[in-house]
């Protein structure tokens, strides 16, 4: 799959999970390493020109939620985003592991604390990308 250039997609509205999944497949694709990706959408659900990958440990630190929420609050204000899309990338099957669940709980809770709309999240695994539902994440 060809990675789209931002200028070619600057006006595409990503207002459904299916459209967002296609974009994540184009930009992140199959997992190569352990990373957390952040993608930002404006108030019209158009992708902003910032895509942030960050290497992450297997498990988040116990006190990470507040720190990440504070970081997210500042970042959302800086880029003027209305939504954030989280993609957890890690090599392995499409089954959600306990470690995955901890990361997914952290990002969704941080999004709630930052008062930003969370889209997805998605899991990038060895065969592709899948949507992660509330039943996969569980409760904190």
Which tens digit of pLDDT belongs to each residue from 72-99? 999 999 999 999 999 999 999 999 999 9
| pTM: predicted TM-score of the whole model, two decimal places | 0.92
Tell me what pLDDT residue 99 has: 96
Residue 36 in contact with residue 107, Cβ under 8 Å? yes
**Structural domains present in the chain:** 6-132 (3.40.140.10)
Q: Give the whole-angstrom CA distance, residue 20 versus residue 41.
A: 10
- The mean predicted confidence, pLDDT, of the chain is 93
Q: Give the whole-angstrom CA distance, residue 128 versus residue 86.
A: 15
Omega prior to 50 cis, within 30 of 0 = no
Residue 86: strand pairing partners: 38
């Amino acid at each position: 799959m060809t990675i789209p250039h931002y200028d070619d997609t600057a006006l595409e509205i990503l207002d459904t999970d299916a459209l967002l999944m296609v974009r994540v497949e184009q930009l992140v694709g199959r997992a190569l390493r352990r990373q957390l990706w952040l993608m930002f959408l404006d108030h019209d659900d158009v992708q902003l020109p910032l895509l942030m990958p960050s290497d992450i440990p297997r498990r988040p630190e116990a006190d990470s939620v507040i720190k990440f929420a504070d970081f997210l609050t500042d970042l959302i204000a800086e880029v003027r985003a209305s939504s954030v899309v989280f993609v957890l990338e890690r090599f392995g099957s499409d089954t959600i592991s306990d470690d995955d669940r901890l990361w997914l709980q952290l990002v969704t809770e941080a999004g709630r604390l930052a008062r930003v709309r969370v889209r997805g999240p998605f899991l990038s695994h060895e065969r592709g990308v899948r949507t992660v539902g509330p039943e996969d994440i569980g409760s904190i």
